[in-house]
Amino acid sequence: MTDWIQCEGDEQRSGVRRTVTDPVRVEEGWTTDLIGTAGPPVLDRDTVFVGTDRGNCYAFDQETGRRRWVVETMAATETAPVVTRERLFFGTADGTIHAVDPATGNQYWQLELPAPLTTALLYVDGDLYAGHEDGLTAIATAAGDEVDAFELDDDGEPAEEPGAVRWTVETDAPVTGAPVIARPPEREQETAPLQESTAPEFESELNHEADPDLGQELDGSMELNDSIDIDTESDESWDSSRIYVATADERVLCLASDDGEGVWAAPTNGVATNALTVADGRVYVADAGGTLLALNAGTGQTWFTYSITAGFTTGATVLTAEGTTIIGANDGYAHVTDTTFGRRKLRGWLFSKKGVALDGEVQAEPVVAGDVLCVGDTTGSLYGLDLTDDCDHLWHHGFEEAITATPAVGDGELFVGTGDRLVQLEWSDELSLP
């Protein structure tokens, strides 16, 4: 059974489920009304969870859409929740993190962040990471069966109580790009040659001659809000996981996951307002200035840049096997590039195309089910595009309101938040791409 336990499905924010059957044709299964505009749904086993901007967090039966419970709060809960076998975690805009029973909605604990929550939560190995206006906070969540994945003290008890803050890193500006993790590399990381984008009219505004120096290593004693000297000798190997976030002062920060110590920082060409993505040893950052950066996860050095005259409005969906990156923008396109040089990948009559034209802006991250790319826009149009045939159109499904929250992929079904509704789309297992 396919799960989708956090924003964009997993800790790398991949948005990809290649093992499910291709949605060659979709139809509506069930629709349920919400109080408030839907955020990104998540699912685990037989339950779908979704929050709204009116402060409600819902649980619905995955097959029928019947409401199981609702938790009402006093602040918006439209960021994606996180669900594990034992707990559901969700945050509110005022900076409160709630841990509840996924089966009943009964609360176990809550925690106040130092400042209002600004990003989706990230769950990794029993820890929760929350971006907020003052920085990034790591929270211990282990309870019950989860303590096996949690650090124990000398007496065999959890080193921190569930709901305790492990560390907080203060930043100069609010965290805007949702945190993502990279595991330690099992092999030597690739060394990235710098490449410019393919078309002169989309030439990056960044200084390409300085791009190899974008990774700025942080001295262990240095605060993240201090001036940072450029150091190009960053080690490409590391022993523990790293967390990556983007901030409103147009930077990407790399932090050690165990203590929050700064490793490196890199500038962006605008504010990254969506989740970062990790794939194949790289961190992908798309910003509102219209620049996609692929950074070496170990050093912060630039692998490639791809720039447009509009602004990117989603994070990157990366298909490692195909060497493809898909990013939504406010010019009405889902831009498609390769992952080697950041060049346009789709063929045109005379020149390569910048991507797939849609009816409106793309504000929800594109997701992949099997070999089909599912991408929606602000007009309420949802498209299925054939990844095996140059993103050729397979189907279109229209909704009455905009699609602004990333859908969740299940087995033969897609859960889409549109306006104040959550809709299940389903498809037959008998149909698949040739």
Q: What confidence tens digit (pLDDT) does each residue in 381-432 have?
A: 999 999 999 999 999 999 999 999 999 999 999 999 999 999 999 997 665 5
pLDDT at residue number 209: 31
E strands, 34-174, where?
42-44, 47-51, 56-61, 67-72, 82-83, 88-91, 96-100, 107-112, 122-124, 127-132, 135-140, 165-170
pLDDT value of residue 350:
65
State the average pLDDT over residues 257-278.
Answer: 95
Residue appearing with tokens 């991507």: 355
Of 14-28, 258-272, 341-355, least confident by mean pLDDT is 341-355
* CA 127, 103, 425, 72 torsion-angle sign: negative
What burial letters (b/e) apply to 237-272, b meaning 16+ CB within 10 Å? ebeebbbbbbbbebbbbbbbbbebbbbbbbbbbbbb
> What pLDDT score does 428 carry?
79
Q: Of 186-200, 287-301, 350-364, which gets the smallest average pLDDT? A: 186-200
DSSP state of 147: G
How far, in Å, are 172, 174, 280, 292 from residue 119 at the CA level? 16, 10, 24, 19
Residue 268 pLDDT more than 70?
yes
pLDDT, residue 269, reads: 94
The structural domains of the chain, ordered by start, are 16-426 (2.130.10.10)
Of the pLDDT bands very low, low, confident and very high (cuts 50, 70, 90), residue 433 is low
What pLDDT does residue 155 have? Answer: 59
Distance CA 19, CA 372 (A): 11
Compute the radius of gyration of the chain from its Cα atoms: 21
Q: Mind giving me the DSSP string for 288-338?
A: TTSEEEEEETTT--EEEEEE-SS-EEEEEEEETTTTEEEEEETTSEEEEEE
Q: Using CA atoms, how far apart are residues 398 and 279, in angstroms rounded to an integer? A: 32
Question: Is the pLDDT score of 344 beyond 70?
Answer: yes
Secondary structure class of 176 (helix, strand, coil): strand
The residues, any chain, with a CB within 8 Å of residue 308's CB and separated by 6 or more, are 202, 290, 329, 331, 335, 354
Binned at pLDDT 50, 70 and 90, residue 352 comes out as confident
Spatial distance between the Cα atoms of 218 and 207, rounded to a whole number of angstroms: 22
Confidence of residue 238 (pLDDT cuts 50, 70, 90): confident
> Could you report the per-residue pLDDT of 140-159, keeping only the tens digit for each?
997 533 434 445 455 555 44
The reported pLDDT for the residue numbered 65 is 98
Q: How far apart are CA 51 and CA 96, in angstroms?
A: 14
**Mean pLDDT rounded to a whole number for the chain:** 86
Q: Tell me, rounded to whole angstroms, the distance of Cα 350 from its chain centroid.
A: 34
Which residues are within 8 A (CB) of 43 and not within 5 positions of it... i.e. 6 or more apart? 3, 4, 5, 49, 62, 83, 408, 410, 415
Q: What is the DSSP letter of 231?
A: B
Least confident interval from 100-104, 159-163, 214-218: 214-218
Maximum Cα–Cα distance for the chain, whole Å? 69
Residues 191-225 pLDDT 10s: 333 333 222 222 333 232 333 333 333 433 333 44
Neighbours of 288 (CB within 10 A): 20
